[in-house]
Structure 1
Amino acid sequence: MRAGRLVAMVLLLQSRGRMTAEQLSAELEVSVRTVYRDVEALNGAGVPVYGDAGHGGGFRLLDGYRTQLTGLQAEEAESLFLSGAPGAAAGLGLDRVLAVAQLKLEAALPAPLRGRAGRVRERFHLDAPGWYREQDAPPHLAVVADAVWQQRRLRMRYRRWAAPQEVVRQVEPYGLVLKSGVWYLVAGVVGAAGAAAPEGAAGAVRTYRVSQVLDVQAEGGCFERPAGFDLAAHWEAYLAEYDARRLRLHAVLRLRQELVARLPDLVDAAVVRAVAESAAGAAAGDADAEGSGADGWVTVTVPVESVALAVPMVLAWGADAEVLGPPELRQAMVLAVRNLAERYS
């Protein structure tokens, strides 16, 4: 741990020039006293770190001194792909590795490019979680991530929605996906005989929310990833299939146009897309027809999971929405509004 910190200090001084003890303390996340001890250790090892006293002083390397410790190790190079998502790197246990890798890269750059890299870091930041949601912090993420890197099978106890809720699964972890601040594991299910699940490629690959993993152990040996498996392509196909399986009912609604403009902040993307397509179709038709938007309202068809889940969604839109069909959803809305009126009367 200390050796890595000493390397990081040298790289900081090489790439940024003179730095005060307080600045080094903040960058390395240690006390100022530890910074002074580390400087003494570097001097003892022959690294020419000098301290300038007074206003504008600080520590610096002897002019012309450059370390040769700028070569990236394998895990440092891999961590650079997460440089735009520091929260994700921390969740995977790569935050310190990423910091050192970035320092090595910065120290190896010529001075003009080093300045440009610094400006990019100062001006752009990626915040993965969606609004109104905290970053997912699964307790077993580091173990799962290590198994993904090492291609080791996992035996995990998992909590799911269907009964029985707690199940034990042996899986081959193919990759991790961070979706709106939530971590998901894409893995191949392993059969009782130790072979991949026999129900075909689509059935063999499953998606698990990592925060629902109750307990997990990595097993010995390595597995072979399926030839040509594309994590990004698989995830896109999974999302499309998930929406088709989840949104099985279609509701016909009249919406005030002011509400349509606010929908991206209120509902998921599948509903927003359906509203936009329906509204565009109505606008392309007869401008005077009912539901075309000429009267400030538009008639749309949107996918919903069920009547029970559609009722609170539409209720949240208040008087800016009216259910036209199907009849069971309209009747459920009538009952819900009647119950609300009785509650508040």
Structure 2
Amino acid sequence: MKSSRLMQVLLLLQSRGRMTADELAAELEVSPRTIYRDIDSLSAAGIPVYADRGPAGGYQLVDGYRTRLTGLTSGEAQSLFLAGLPGPAADLGLKEFAAAAQLKLLAALPTELRDKAEQIRQRFHLDTPSWFRGDEPTEHLATIADAVWEQRRVRMTYRRWGDDTVEREVDPYGLVLKAGTWYFVGSGRTYRVSRVLALEAMDDVFDRPADFDLARYWAEWSEQFEARMYGERITVRMTRQGLDKTQYLLSGHQARVIREAAPQPGEEFGFPTESTRHAVADLLKFGADVEVLAPAELRRELMGVVEAMRDVYNGAKLPAWFR
């Protein structure tokens, strides 16, 4: 642990220049006293580090000194693609590795490129979760990630849609982070990590298919999943304002289907939905900018909801089903 921290102190000084003991301590989450001891250890090892006194002082390396010890460890190399994603890196147990890898890369760059890299880090931030969503439980994510890397079969208890549970043995091929939600792909199926109730990595090692491409699989699966989810069609017509609002009020797949159909204001078209129940919630978002033409039962249900809302705002007694 100490040798790793000493390397981090050295790389921080090399990549950022002069730093105070308090700044180093905050960066490495240790006490300033620990930094004092680390600086003494570096000096004793022949590293040309010196201190400037005074309010603007701090520790820095002799001009021109650069360490060659910037080789990435296995864990740091695994974390490179997450270097700009602190949340997912922490989920996978790679937060410290990602920080160390990023620091080593900065230290290895020439000064002019290092300055540009630091500017990018300060000016661009990727926030993966969707709006208005809490964190999902991912207690088994690190174990799944290890199993993916080591190609070990897992045994799990999984809660499917509808709340029934199944016991499965799965060969995990890869992990996917979609809008803040983790999924893993295995044995030709896709599983949501938050629905894993219990999991253990087995001793069995599986052979990952040589032709399996995770990105291609996910793109194809996502398209098929959305097509299945929004497989029903209802007949509606919309005003121009309603058509303009579809990209903001509906899912990406629904908006794309409507955009490809290219309906004109007042023209009948097939509105994609999961079910009549889901359609009510979607259509109410548009207010009077949409009219349902079929099926008749959905039209009646919407009329009932609108009448109940009118009763609410008129102060009339609510129907029993509304309470």
Same-fold call, TM cutoff 0.5: yes
Alignment match, 1:42: 42
Aligned equivalents of 2:34, 2:135: Cα separation in 1? 31
- Identify which range, 320-329 or 267-276, moves more after superposition: 320-329
Shift of 1:261: 2.9
Distance 1:342 1:151 in 2: 60
* CA 336–114 in structure 1, closer or farther in 2 if over 3 Å, else same: same
2:271 is equivalent to residue 302 of structure 1: yes
**Structure 2 residue matching 1:81: 3-state secondary structure:** helix
Map 1:101-120 onto structure 2 (within 5 A). Answer: 101-120=101-120
8 Å contact kept, 1:80–1:101? yes
Deviations 1:125-150 (A, max 9, x none): 11111222245451111111111111
Q: 1:180 — aligned with what?
A: 179
CA deviations over 1:178-230 (Å, ceiling 9, x no partner): 00000001011xxxxxxxxxxxxxxxx11111011111111114211012101
What is the rounded CA distance, in whole Å, between the counterparts of 1:88 and 1:338 in structure 2?
46
8 Å CA contact retained: 1:253, 1:300 = yes
C-alpha distance in 2, partners of 1:261/1:33? 61
How many angstroms apart in 1 are the aligned matches of 2:76 and 2:212? 24
Deviations 1:61-86 (A, max 9, x none): 23333222111223322211222322
Which residue pairs with 1:275 in the alignment? Answer: 258
- Map of 1:96 onto structure 2: 96
Q: How many residues align?
A: 314
Q: Give me the whole-angstrom Cα distance separating, in 1, the residues matched to 2:118 and 2:158.
A: 43
Matched, 1:218 2:206: no
- Farther-moved stretch of structure 1 (68-77 vs 169-178): 68-77
Amino acid at match of 2:292: V
> Do the aligned residues in 1 keep the contact of 2:154 with 2:169 (CA within 8 Å)?
yes
Contact conserved, 2:249 with 2:285, CA < 8 A, in 1? no
Give the alignment of 1:10-89 within 5 angstroms: 10-89=10-89
Q: CA deviation at 1:239?
A: 1.1
| Residues 1:317 and 2:286 are matched in the alignment | yes
Query: Once the two structures are superposed, what CA deviation does each residue of 1:99-137 show, in whole Å capped at 9, x if it has no partner?
Result: 111111111111111111111111111111122224545
1:144 maps to amino acid: I
| 8 Å CA contact 1:21, 1:35 repeated in 2 | yes
Is 1:329 matched up with 2:298? yes
Alignment-mate amino acid for residue 257 of structure 1? R
* Deviation per residue, 1:38-78 (Å, 9 max, x gap): 22333344333222111321111233332221112233222
**Partners of 1:150 and 1:166 in 2: CA distance:** 27
The match for 1:339 is 308
Deviations 1:4-27 (A, max 9, x none): 222111111111111112322232
The 1-side partners of 2:106 and 2:11 are apart by: 8
Contact kept? 1:185, 1:210, Cα under 8 Å: yes
Q: Distance in 2 between matches of 1:119 and 1:24?
A: 20
> What's 2:321 paired with?
none
Structure 2 residue ranges without an equivalent (≥5):
317-323
Which of 248, 260, 274 matches 1:265?
A: 248
Match of 2:239 in 1: 256
Cα separation, 2, equivalents of 1:138 and 1:240? 25
- Tell me, what secondary structure is at the counterpart of 1:302? strand
Q: Is the 8 A contact 2:83 2:101 kept in 1?
A: no
SS of 1:130's equivalent in the other structure is coil
% identical equivalent positions: 50
CA distance in 1 between counterparts of 2:68 and 2:53 reads: 28
Shift in alpha-carbon separation, 1:60–1:341, aligned structure 2, 3 A: same
Q: Tell me: CA distance 1:339–1:153, structure 2 relative to 1, closer, same or farther (3 Å).
A: same
**Could you list the runs of 5+ residues in structure 1 that have no partner in the other structure?**
189-204, 283-291
Query: Aligned with 1:220: secondary structure?
Result: strand
Q: Distance in 1 between matches of 2:105 and 2:94?
A: 16
Structure 1 residues 147 and 98: alpha-carbon distance in aligned structure 2, compared to 1, 3 A threshold: same
Aligned to 2:3: 3
Query: What letter is aligned with 2:210?
Result: A
TM-fit CA distance, 1:273: 1.0
- Do 1:187 and 1:206's aligned partners in 2 also have CA atoms closer than 8 Å? yes
Decide whether the 8 Å contact of 1:176 with 1:186 is kept in 2.
yes
Kindly indicate whether the alpha-carbon contact (under 8 Å) linking 1:134 and 1:181 is maintained by their aligned counterparts in 2.
no
User: Could you tell me the TM-score, scaled by structure 1's length?
Assistant: 0.85
CA contact (8 A) 2:230 2:254 kept: no
C-alpha contact 1:257 1:298 (8 A) present in aligned 2: no
Distance, in Å, in 1 between the alignment partners of 2:260 and 2:294 is: 18
